[in-house]
Chain A
């Protein structure tokens, strides 16, 4: 199926099966490898992208379901004010270890802050519990989200 998507503000055209999850279009067809494969069943959040600003697991989202909505990936999220704040907080607090899940963590956190600029702990739990980090960086993820929200180190 010939498809055109708007990804990080750019038009991308390709021909893939309609049921192909967006994850594999990004990674294997477009070579945008910042979005990660973790489980394939929306259990780990490594593949999180934004569709019209909302966090979505791309491993189970058929490319045909995206339609004309805007796709933002980790490669593009830094161009949004919230995404840039999240990336900065992640580096300021040295959240990252292996980093493999962190594309997804950052995308989930950016979507949270875009919708809820001052999240409390339960907002953070609700928005971030779908993202597994095997290195166990949760304590710093929580602190970084609060810092990105407030602009102050917690």
Chain B
């Protein structure tokens, strides 16, 4: 039995079940984490069933269900895309519940903002590295409330004081009388208990699970092919489709000649919509070959004139103008007029997400309902957008969420589901729409291009004034308009308005600059990727001007920042900072305040005469507060570093004649195992509330690498991906 189940009605693979969605609609986050229990609806060996609570016997429940046989099912409000959140969420719930973690089953949450909405956004969103930050307290309260109700039920049964009972591994014990009752035996009685107000939470010193490097709950099925991702949905009578959108952004379909495609064995149907064409067949091979055999004349529209050259010129022009002030302290004009002044501008390119699982959605459209199988970071928004595309009320759209084969922000968009629904409306029966890798790369929602302009002055070896202007997309402005206030995009300025250094005169500005034609969105590390890169690169240039060691230079401006200092000192020690290195080898540092964690990273790299860079070693020291699962934190840093070093070494999407020029992994390169450095992550013990971790490695890698190249060669790169020709030319700043 798979431990991960889908909550909505589904006939995917071996699972077959029906669910009462009404039952799930009661209570939950809005209802103050009421906890329900339900009686067994199944034999012990059957797959875990979502509860049917329509008969009124059971109280509402968002996260925890315990049946009479003691089966504990935990419903996951956040989606698992590799970041380990299913394990961490289960650990937190089981900790306060005193459940036996080895016996729990997990379920994907269905779309329901009231029950499962991320408290930060008010809707179901897995992003911004905030799953644990946002749900830490609510999940603990949910677990502790459930535990208190079970204890109360046992105490009533035994006619003893609840305080005289203890709990462990799914059992309530009254040690004075030597009596035990399992949570399963107590489920019915507990369901009529009232949830306690202000339930006490465990003292962290009593944590059994939290803080332990426990094994992940999602990985056993990932070594044997049993894990089910959205792309693995299989339905009786299913057809398979793949699609082509106009290669020019915003272009439309002109004319389609499908005579050759229709002759391909296995091709069943050609679906022509105003902006895309899909071929439906017996399998993906027929669909792919059919698509290749089509002759499509596109109506390219006005964007066919756009190229990277114009996009960059436009961004550079806009970035030189004043922006909206996002932070202001001291007297910036005066501060910049005194002392040694330096100026620089840093630029980051468009990037594709390239999740290993290509975009896909399976849709069964009927006249009065629509059912969807996919993996998304925004399940409730997907449901709403699908309903619009289907022309149906939201409650007639069922979304079965799945494990994600990578998210990285791409699945914070609903476009792949909307396209599949529009295609499915033309198709009889269920259809799985899978994008080719080429379509996935060429019709992404890209990490924006950014340009940051910085000027600063030095006085007594410290920064006296700091003026920092960000120019780039307002992703929040498009994606969550109510959060875009007074012209300031809170994502675009993240880690810039809260830079950790003590500087008397600061001004941070933001210029909203949307690139023409190219859609932009969140990419793992989001705004901080841009800001930490520019800030930390410029810090090294300032340190050099001041004649200081880069770490000493930073340390002198962190006098009231013990957590940053702790991370910086540990990274310095563990990386061998200051110890001699061979010629053309350098170490570079990056310190970041992003996502509520305090992280210092040192990259050690060798640069050859041709400008090629070899990664030798990466060391990170991480203070992320209470480390719910330290092994997951290490894994996220290791992986995030590789993700971002990939981008620093290779990542760039370029536009010519309105089209993306890259198409697959041969020209949108990925770091491979033979180039991967040794990585050492050091997790600092802390009793502070947990910070975010999923995107921190993405932010850490590029500035540390760039500073290592700077240390090795003296070449101050100010643009990514790294330009080998500039390094080879040896042009010093």
Is chain B found bound to chain A in the same assembly? yes
A contact residues vs B (CB 8 Å cutoff): 16-17, 20-21, 24, 27-29, 31-41, 43-44, 46, 73-75, 78, 87, 90-91, 94, 96-103, 106, 124-126, 128-142
A24-B284, A28-B285 are contacts. A37–B82 as well, Cβ < 8 Å?
no
Query: Quick one: which of A31, A97, A130, A139 contacts B679, CB cutoff 8 A?
Result: A139
Whether A99 lies near B405 (C-beta < 8 A) is yes
Which A residues are in CB contact (< 8 Å) with B673? 124-125, 128-129, 131, 133, 138, 141-142
Whether B354 lies near A137 (C-beta < 8 A) is no
Whether B219 lies near A136 (C-beta < 8 A) is no
Whether A36 lies near B405 (C-beta < 8 A) is yes
Closest residue on chain A to residue B220 by CB atoms: A91
Complex: how many Å from CA A141 to CA B673? 9
Whether A36 lies near B357 (C-beta < 8 A) is yes
Query: Quick one: which of B284, B676, B697 contacts A138, CB cutoff 8 A?
Result: B676
- A85 nearest CB across to chain B (Å): 11
B contact residues vs A (CB 8 Å cutoff): 13, 81-84, 215-216, 218-220, 222-229, 231-232, 234, 240, 265-266, 282-286, 288, 354-358, 403-408, 434, 436-437, 631, 635, 638-643, 646, 664-666, 670-674, 676, 678-679, 697
- A47 nearest CB across to chain B (Å): 11
Complex: how many Å from CA A131 to CA B672? 7
Which A residues are in CB contact (< 8 Å) with B434? 37
Q: A-B contact count, CB below 8 Å? A: 185
**Chain B at the A interface: mostly helix, strand, loop or mixed?**
loop
Which B residues are in CB contact (< 8 Å) with A34? 224-226
Complex: how many Å from CA A44 to CA B286? 22
Query: Quick one: which of A21, A35, A102, A136 contacts B223, CB cutoff 8 A?
Result: A102
Closest residue on chain B to residue A100 by CB atoms: B405
Which B residues are in CB contact (< 8 Å) with A129? 672-674
Closest residue on chain A to residue B678 by CB atoms: A139
Whether B219 lies near A99 (C-beta < 8 A) is yes
A-B contact pairs, 29 of them (CB 8 A): A24-B283, A28-B282, A28-B284, A37-B231, A40-B288, A41-B437, A43-B665, A44-B670, A75-B225, A87-B223, A91-B220, A94-B635, A96-B216, A97-B82, A98-B407, A99-B227, A100-B356, A101-B356, A102-B223, A106-B223, A128-B674, A129-B674, A133-B356, A134-B670, A136-B639, A136-B643, A137-B638, A137-B642, A139-B679
Which B residues are in CB contact (< 8 Å) with A90? 219, 223
Which A residues are in CB contact (< 8 Å) with B358? 37-38
Whether B224 lies near A38 (C-beta < 8 A) is no
Whether A135 lies near B639 (C-beta < 8 A) is yes
Whether B216 lies near A100 (C-beta < 8 A) is no
Whether B284 lies near A37 (C-beta < 8 A) is yes
Whether B666 lies near A43 (C-beta < 8 A) is yes
Whether B234 lies near A135 (C-beta < 8 A) is no
Whether B639 lies near A75 (C-beta < 8 A) is no
Which B residues are in CB contact (< 8 Å) with A73? 225
Whether B285 lies near A98 (C-beta < 8 A) is no
Whether A44 lies near B225 (C-beta < 8 A) is no
**Chain A at the B interface: mostly helix, strand, loop or mixed?**
loop
A39-B437, A98-B82 are contacts. A91–B219 as well, Cβ < 8 Å?
yes
Complex: how many Å from CA A129 to CA B671? 9
Complex: how many Å from CA A137 to CA B679? 11
New A-B pairs, 5, CB < 8 Å, besides A99-B403, A134-B643: A16-B285, A17-B285, A39-B665, A136-B640, A136-B697
Whether A100 lies near B223 (C-beta < 8 A) is no
Complex: how many Å from CA A64 to CA B309? 47
Whether A33 lies near B225 (C-beta < 8 A) is yes
- A122 nearest CB across to chain B (Å): 8
Whether A38 lies near B437 (C-beta < 8 A) is yes
Whether A102 lies near B222 (C-beta < 8 A) is yes
Closest residue on chain B to residue A108 by CB atoms: B673
Which A residues are in CB contact (< 8 Å) with B13? 33
Which A residues are in CB contact (< 8 Å) with B218? 99
A90-B223, A129-B674, A135-B643 are contacts. A98–B403 as well, Cβ < 8 Å?
yes
- A80 nearest CB across to chain B (Å): 12
Complex: how many Å from CA A27 to CA B375? 18
Complex: how many Å from CA A75 to CA B406? 21
Which A residues are in CB contact (< 8 Å) with B229? 100
Complex: how many Å from CA A153 to CA B216? 18
Whether B234 lies near A134 (C-beta < 8 A) is no
Which A residues are in CB contact (< 8 Å) with B284? 24, 27-28, 37
Complex: how many Å from CA A136 to CA B642? 5
Complex: how many Å from CA A21 to CA B222? 23
Whether A94 lies near B219 (C-beta < 8 A) is yes
Which A residues are in CB contact (< 8 Å) with B357? 36, 98, 100
Which A residues are in CB contact (< 8 Å) with B641? 136
Complex: how many Å from CA A28 to CA B436? 15
A20-B285, A74-B225, A135-B643 are contacts. A38–B234 as well, Cβ < 8 Å?
no
Which A residues are in CB contact (< 8 Å) with B240? 28
Whether B671 lies near A136 (C-beta < 8 A) is yes
A41-B664, A136-B671, A141-B673 are contacts. A20–B283 as well, Cβ < 8 Å?
yes
- A153 nearest CB across to chain B (Å): 13
Whether A134 lies near B222 (C-beta < 8 A) is no
Complex: how many Å from CA A138 to CA B678? 10
Which B residues are in CB contact (< 8 Å) with A128? 672-674
A33-B232, A97-B82, A97-B84 are contacts. A140–B222 as well, Cβ < 8 Å?
no
Complex: how many Å from CA A34 to CA B222? 9
Closest residue on chain A to residue B680 by CB atoms: A139
Complex: how many Å from CA A103 to CA B232? 13
Closest residue on chain B to residue A74 by CB atoms: B225
For A41, A130, A134, the residue with the greatest tally of chain B CB atoms inside 10 Å of its CB is A134
